[in-house]
Chains A and B, each alone.
Chain A
Amino acid sequence: MQTLRSICMFKLPHYIKTRIKTKTRVMWVGDWCVLTAGIVLVAALFQQLWSHDGASRVQIRLGDTIYGTYSLNQQRNIHVQGAIGSATVSIMNGKARFSKSPCHNQYCVHQGWLSRSGQAAVCLPNQLSLELIGETKHYDSLSY
């Protein structure tokens, strides 16, 4: 800021020098106000929008640990080695499902595609679960 002012003072003709000088003095305080407000706004928006990002993800849990969290914006098959064998989780166009499971009853596969935040599918024999995560969570837990 100071360098800018000194450059102005040296290079500009005398008759506009004073005008700029007074203007820049006023601008100097205002600048910082704008800058501060800007940083505050960016920080707030970052927290608001970035941490609860709108794009939904799917969280895969194996036993009592989180196996991984994946974006739904991809087409992908994930192979997970569960308690009794290898299962396949498919992700496609914002949806996810169990597409292959070594379990006997295949309840998890019959659950079909999950697409909304909070939806879940569990494979008890294989100790695997899927849960869709989004910006809103309608409930803390599910009675089934």
Chain B
Amino acid sequence: MRKGLKPLLIVAACCLAIWGLIAYNQPRLYHSQSYVFGTLVDISIYGEPEARARALTNHILQDFQHLHQQLHAWKPAADNQASELGTLNAAFSSGKQAVNIGPRMAEILLDATKLSQQSNGLFNPSIGHLISAWGFQRDEFSAVNIDKTHISNLVKANPRMSDIIIDNNTTYSKNPNVKLDLGGYAKGYALDQAADYLRKQQVNNALINIGGNIIALGQHGDTPWRVGIQHPRKPAAIATLDLADGWAIGTSGDYQRYFMLDGKRYCHIIDPRTGYPVQHTQAVTVLIPPQAAHSTQAGALSDVASKPIFIEPWAQKSAIAATLGIQHYMVIDQASQAFVTPEMQTKLTWLDADFKKHLHVQTTALH
């Protein structure tokens, strides 16, 4: 019996070693999904103990919730539920009386104003009244009766970010038609806040996705974080790319918030010059490298920069991208054909054969 016991022990030890090795090699990935900002928030943290990852995630989600409450664009002012932004909008519309704002709001407004000017007013968070007229300032929206005169009046009222005057911790608007809606900025800003927080907590590997805007920290084990780009008309990804440390990606599409009327699609991206939803583009994806300190960070830029490229007609798309300093981007037209810059093409791995076949690679150079 003793002779038989020794080999048995060897076998048991071998099994234990293999099991241990497999357990050690298990990916240490924490993944959570929640609903904030009226959209899906998806946080992955790699290489941290689960309890810590969960605590960090909860902290980030609470921050997002605060930011959402602060920046909510259409919560009714009547029942004292108005956000800081709602209060601000009420003050803007009632006249030139200055109101106090917190340092975070001041920082956001200054940065959004800078980006609005840089994009020749195509990124314009002060057109809240237009967005509301098209019915997109609701949780559940439906087709609206298009009131041409109303829309034309709202465009003529010419609300601009430069109408907002910020003096220390007070602000007022020179134009009572300014109504802020930071729907194209807040999610990107939140990405930067979360990335900043995680870095300060010495978390080196994480991937944060707020409603399709994504920022990466470090990588997923031995490989970079990999993100997919949504097909504008199918529930699938058309391509993937590796998102390196500090890089961010954002997509604007006509398929997330839209309604159909008389066979036409009306999406939530509105050209401030015409007052009408853009109908010549299905999607724009921008890829943003890490930005210098004290300038707009990668997350906010990934949210903002896709909009002006989406809005401009085809002949002007590359010019506006160059103005914004965007090198990596992809545009999908109404025939579901993809146009990418050579810089972007080198990053992409195509999954969709149709898209790959009809791909157009174009330089960003101005004509």
Contacts and interface: CB of A to CB of B under 8 A. Distances in A.
Given A63-B34, A112-B235, A119-B236, A142 B11 contact: no
B188 interface: no
A2 B3 contact: yes
Contacts of A43: 15, 18-19
Contact of A138 (B3, B226, B230, B235): B226
Interface residues of A, number: 37
Contact of B214 (A39, A111, A141): A141
A119 B235 contact: yes
Interface in A40-90: 40, 43-44, 47, 61, 63-64, 83
B90 interface: no
A105 interface: yes
A91 interface: no
A5 to B, nearest CB: 11
Interface stretch (B71-79, B248-256, B274-282, B357-365): B248-256
Interface majority SS on B: helix, strand, loop or mixed? strand
B11 A143 contact: no
B139 A144 contact: no
A39 to B, nearest CB: 6
Interface string A100-138: 000111000001101010111110110101000000001
Interface stretch (B38-46, B110-118, B119-127, B156-164): B38-46
A42 to B, nearest CB: 10
Interface in B168-197: none
Interface residues of B, number: 49
A112 B226 CA distance: 25
Given A40-B14, A43-B15, A118-B237, A142 B209 contact: yes
B213 A143 contact: yes
A91 to B, nearest CB: 15
A84 B139 CA distance: 12
Contacts of B139: 125
A37 B257 CA distance: 58
A142 B212 contact: yes
A104 B140 contact: yes
B253 A144 contact: yes
Nearest to B12: A39
A40 B4 contact: no
A142 B230 contact: yes
Nearest to A104: B140
Contacts, number: 110
B35 interface: yes
B18 A40 contact: yes
B207 interface: yes
A138 B240 contact: yes
Given A104-B142, A118-B237, A125-B139, A139 B18 contact: no
B244 interface: no
A110 to B, nearest CB: 9
A138 B225 CA distance: 11
A102 to B, nearest CB: 11
B315 interface: no
B256 A144 contact: yes
A26 interface: no
B22 interface: yes
B316 interface: no
Nearest to A29: B7
A36 interface: yes
A1 interface: yes
Contacts of B230: 142-144
A32 interface: yes
A35 interface: yes
A39 B13 CA distance: 12
B40 A129 contact: yes
Nearest to B140: A104
Contact of A127 (B35, B209, B228, B250): B35
Contact of B212 (A47, A125, A138, A144): A144
B323 interface: no
Contacts of B213: 143
B227 A44 contact: no
A142 B207 contact: no
A23 B207 CA distance: 61
B44 A61 contact: no
21 contacts: A2-B4, A36-B11, A40-B15, A43-B18, A64-B34, A104-B142, A105-B140, A111-B235, A114-B235, A124-B39, A125-B140, A138-B240, A139-B237, A139-B240, A140-B207, A140-B227, A141-B214, A142-B212, A142-B230, A142-B237, A143-B229
Closest 4 CB pairs of A and B: A144-B230, A139-B228, A144-B212, A104-B140
